[in-house]
Amino acid sequence: MFVSVVVPCYRSAQTLPELVARLAAVLPGAAIEHEIVLVVDGSPDDTWDVAADLARSHREVRAIQLARNYGQHNALIAGVRAARHDIIVTMDDDLQHLPEEVPRLLAALTDDIDLVYARPREEEHGLARSLASQLVKMTLSGPLGVPDARSISAFRAFRMFLRDGFDGLTGPHASIDVALSWGTTRIGCVDVRMEHRMSGRSGYTLSSLLRHAVNLLVGYSTAPLRFVSCLGLVVGAFGLLLSGIVLWSYLTGAITVAGFTSVASMIALFSSAQILGIGVLGEYLGRVHACGMGRPTYVIRSEIDRAAAEETVDLRSDVLS
């Protein structure tokens, strides 16, 4: 088994040395050959310096620096596309995902399974974060129809051929889990132990997870458009009913003077529905415009690959000799 471990890195200068050391201790017993791809996602601290030093001192480590912060999923896409081996493992940089659990993921990747998610035995986040995370998973499993979305986590292992399914994925709003679901329904999960974050604070706050759920809905589903269509039908039916009631009241003499309250309520109701519909359509048009401008998913600033450099030197030596 040949394994590439992809780690998106942001504000993780303190944890990367231990993470790489523990992976280097575990992976030789689980894989014939392995590599560790550290993708530094425009981190404002010295994470890139640490990752670069690790790549220079460890032949199996590669360091990729993105031009700016693009987000975790975009950084994952960059690392997955750069991976060289048959099996790709993705994990966080904060040691919540234990390197010692990687062999369990690899063992669960049997002949009839293409994608395995690690499911924590115990919830490691607070109530608000957990509820927001469940909302994202409900978005994936409901409108997007992603199989086994309730088991999705950032700690996953999958076969390299699945990345062929999102070769054409462009634009700033990427979701690797949706992209992976385009390639397979042969998905499994395995229970693993996870730890609390070793240092710093997670970038996934309640508000960012809610934004991520909205991005998933608008970016990968037409459910909001269908919702606006249904809302238009409901509001139209309510308007017809209200008009019928007002007309009947007028014909029977119950109303002698038109009431301002009814007119104002109807205007407010219809205006709200129209503004909501325009907002949803505008969101879709904005994303189409962003893709049409050619806005990239990521841009790589630099890369350090000691193994490739040594192979190039050896090849040149062979040619000269």
pTM above 0.85, yes or no: no
Whether the CB-CB separation of 32 and 66 falls below 8 Å is answered with no
The model's pLDDT over 186-245, given as tens digits with 9 standing for 90+, comes to 888 899 988 876 655 555 555 665 665 666 666 556 667 777 777 777 777 777 777 777
Q: Is residue 243 part of a domain?
A: no
Query: What residues contact 137, with CB distance under 8 A and at least 6 apart?
Result: 149, 150, 152
Q: Is residue 117 part of a domain?
A: yes
The model's pLDDT over 87-131, given as tens digits with 9 standing for 90+, comes to 999 999 999 999 999 999 999 999 999 999 998 877 555 554 555
Q: Is residue 254 part of a domain?
A: no
Question: What does the chain come to in residues?
Answer: 321
CATH code of the domain containing 299: 3.90.550.10
Whether the CB-CB separation of 103 and 29 falls below 8 Å is answered with yes
Distance set, CA 158 to CA 38, 241, 278 (Å): 18, 54, 40
**Cα dihedral value 214, 212, 74, 90, nearest 10:** -130
Q: Domain range spanning residue 152?
A: 2-220+295-320
Q: Is residue 163 part of a domain?
A: yes
The answer, yes or no, to whether residue 144 has pLDDT greater than 50, is no
The model's pLDDT over 48-57, given as tens digits with 9 standing for 90+, comes to 999 999 999 9
Q: Is residue 28 part of a domain?
A: yes
**pLDDT band at 142; cut points 50, 70, 90:** low
Whether the CB-CB separation of 28 and 34 falls below 8 Å is answered with yes
Tell me, rounded to whole angstroms, the distance of Cα 116 from its chain centroid: 16
Cβ-count burial 206-215 (b if 16+ within 10 Å, e if not): eeebeebbeb
Number of domains in the chain: 1
Query: What residues contact 280, with CB distance under 8 A and at least 6 apart?
Result: 218, 224, 225, 227, 228
Q: Check residue 317 and report its DSSP letter.
A: H
Report the pLDDT value the prediction gives residue 168, as an integer from 0 to 100: 78
Q: Is residue 232 part of a domain?
A: no
Q: Is residue 14 part of a domain?
A: yes
**Which of 195, 130, 190 lies closest to 157, judged by CA?**
190
Q: Is residue 168 part of a domain?
A: yes
Residue 6's φ and ψ, nearest 5 degrees, are -105, 125
